[in-house]
């Protein structure tokens, strides 16, 4: 069904490289599903949202958050033509979403998407967000809070946007609410094999979907939309997304005591592997990924667990979690010091050239 969708307007008029890339991915997915030994994953459950009214989040709420940033800051957006992050004004995104692609193919057109639009009281925070099994008063879970508000952020992606395999947080789950549109979410659980495959390829971060089909296990395909629905991404759930119609979603990090065992295992493995790769191979691309990883662990993952144990100080896991937080924070600080040191000792291109000339002159 998705392949038929891709081969008709407006998707068939995408810039040629984007269209060909999406077509090849969907064809590979179809072949994979037809293999006799194919066993689809079932580790993520969809929660339907039956009650929809004027307070239900809609695309207009996402746009209000987007407009609130106009003229004040630039957004980190995905340029789907080259699959790179760019700093652009919200007007660039609106222009990209409003372009007519029903009649002609124009390779000069750029598809932009924003995946981390901060929530405001004029936008997402004014809507009745669906939290499923979670709440702000539940003693066994903790939703991220910033400035006294639930730390939702939202994303809007044009039809044809393909996001390669990545993970948003490193030891904490996320709660995702689909607001509008139609997407295929490709999900892989954080098994030992998948962690080794994903973190074993620092030259290719994020991992391309075709590589994931060959190397990762337990693929689950979620067809999300057009109706509103929600689901939980488990700790370090690897995922890729194919957008079949212009779509919006919102997400918020959340942790619960039942996630701790897996989350702590994941964090220990990821820190060890990432630190090893950092020492073994220097590149600007990997260094940026590594720095973002350390910041995410410290500012998001660990703060979530601290919030959970403050909410329920009598839980049996509070002691182990406190010890794990202290150990992990210490490891993060050590990694940061090594990162700063390696950046200082890494010679510039000019310095390398001068060093070579000096050696030749001796």
Question: Once rounded to an integer, what is the mean pLDDT over residues 49-60?
Answer: 88
161: how many CB neighbours lie within 10 A of its CB?
Answer: 26
The CA distance from 236 to 271, in Å, is 13
Q: Which of 96-110, 195-209, 309-323 shows the highest mean pLDDT?
A: 309-323
Residue 343 has pLDDT above 60, yes or no: no
Residue 87 has pLDDT above 70, yes or no: yes
Mean pLDDT over the full length of the chain: 84
> What are the helix (H) ranges across 130-259?
192-198, 209-215
The CA distance from 292 to 166, in Å, is 13
Question: Once rounded to an integer, what is the mean pLDDT over residues 197-219?
Answer: 82
For residue 356, what pLDDT is reported?
41
Q: Give the distance, in angstroms, between the CA of residue 36 and the centroid of all CA atoms in the same chain.
A: 31
Question: Once rounded to an integer, what is the mean pLDDT over residues 333-337?
Answer: 78
Question: Once rounded to an integer, what is the mean pLDDT over residues 285-302?
Answer: 74
Q: Which residue has the higher pLDDT, 38 or 231?
A: 231
Out of 7-16, 22-31, 90-99, 315-324, pick the least confident: 90-99
Residue 352 has pLDDT above 50, yes or no: no
pLDDT digits (tens, 9 = 90+) for 236-282: 899 999 999 999 999 999 999 999 999 998 888 878 776 665 555 54
pLDDT cut 70: percent of the chain above it = 83
The CA distance from 99 to 111, in Å, is 9
Domain boundaries, the chain: 2-256, 258-348
Structure tokens at 97: 């979403």
Residue 219 · residue 165 · CB < 8 Å = no
Q: Which residue has the higher pLDDT, 27 or 52?
A: 27
pLDDT band, very low/low/confident/very high, at 54 (cuts 50, 70, 90): confident
DSSP state of 73: -
DSSP state of 102: S
> What are the helix (H) ranges across the chain?
2-6, 16-34, 59-68, 90-98, 192-198, 209-215, 260-280, 284-296, 302-311, 318-345, 349-361
CATH 3.30.465.10 holds for 2-256: no
For residue 323, what pLDDT is reported?
96
The CA distance from 184 to 241, in Å, is 6
- Phi, psi at 112, each rounded to 5°: -115, 145
Q: Is 273 exposed, middle or buried (0-12, 13-18, 19+ CB in 10 A)?
A: middle
Q: Is 239 exposed, middle or buried (0-12, 13-18, 19+ CB in 10 A)?
A: buried
pLDDT digits (tens, 9 = 90+) for 142-183: 999 988 899 999 999 999 999 999 888 777 899 999 999 999
For residue 124, what pLDDT is reported?
96
For residue 252, what pLDDT is reported?
96
The contacts of residue 203 (CB under 8 Å, 6+ apart) are 281, 283, 286
């Amino acid at each position: 069904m998705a392949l038929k969708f891709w081969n008709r307007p407006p998707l068939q008029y995408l810039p040629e490289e984007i269209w060909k890339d999406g077509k090849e991915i969907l064809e590979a997915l179809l072949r994979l599903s037809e293999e006799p030994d194919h066993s689809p994953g079932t580790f993520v459950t969809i929660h339907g949202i039956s009650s929809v009214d004027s307070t239900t989040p809609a695309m207009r709420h996402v746009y209000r958050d987007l407009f609130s940033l106009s003229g004040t800051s630039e957004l980190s957006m995905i340029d789907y033509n080259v699959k790179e992050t760019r700093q652009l004004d919200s007007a660039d995104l609106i222009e990209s979403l409003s372009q007519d692609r029903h009649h002609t193919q124009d390779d000069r057109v750029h598809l932009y998407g924003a995946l981390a639009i901060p929530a405001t009281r004029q936008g997402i925070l004014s809507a009745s967000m669906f939290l499923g099994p979670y709440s702000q008063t539940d003693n066994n879970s903790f939703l991220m809070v910033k400035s006294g508000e639930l730390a939702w952020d939202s994303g809007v992606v044009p039809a044809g946007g393909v996001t390669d395999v990545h993970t948003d947080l490193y030891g904490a789950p996320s709660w995702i609410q689909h607001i509008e549109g139609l997407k295929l979410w490709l999900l892989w659980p954080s098994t030992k094999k998948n962690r080794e495959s994903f973190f074993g390829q620092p030259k290719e971060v994020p991992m391309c979907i075709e590589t994931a089909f060959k190397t990762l296990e337990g693929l689950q395909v979620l067809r999300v939309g057009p109706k509103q629905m929600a689901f939980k991404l488990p700790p370090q759930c690897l995922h890729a997304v194919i957008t079949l119609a212009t779509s919006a979603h919102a997400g918020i990090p959340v942790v619960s005591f039942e996630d701790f065992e897996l989350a702590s295992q994941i964090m220990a493995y990821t820190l060890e592997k990432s630190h090893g790769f950092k020492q073994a191979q220097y590149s600007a691309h990997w260094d940026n990924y590594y720095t973002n990883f350390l910041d995410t662990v410290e500012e998001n993952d660990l703060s979530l667990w601290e919030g959970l144990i403050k909410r329920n100080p009598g839980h049996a896991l509070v002691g182990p979690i406190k010890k794990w937080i202290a150990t992990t924070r210490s490891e993060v600080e050590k990694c940061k010091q090594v990162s700063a040191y390696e950046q200082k000792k890494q010679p510039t291109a000019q310095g390398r050239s001068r060093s070579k000339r000096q050696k030749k002159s001796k």
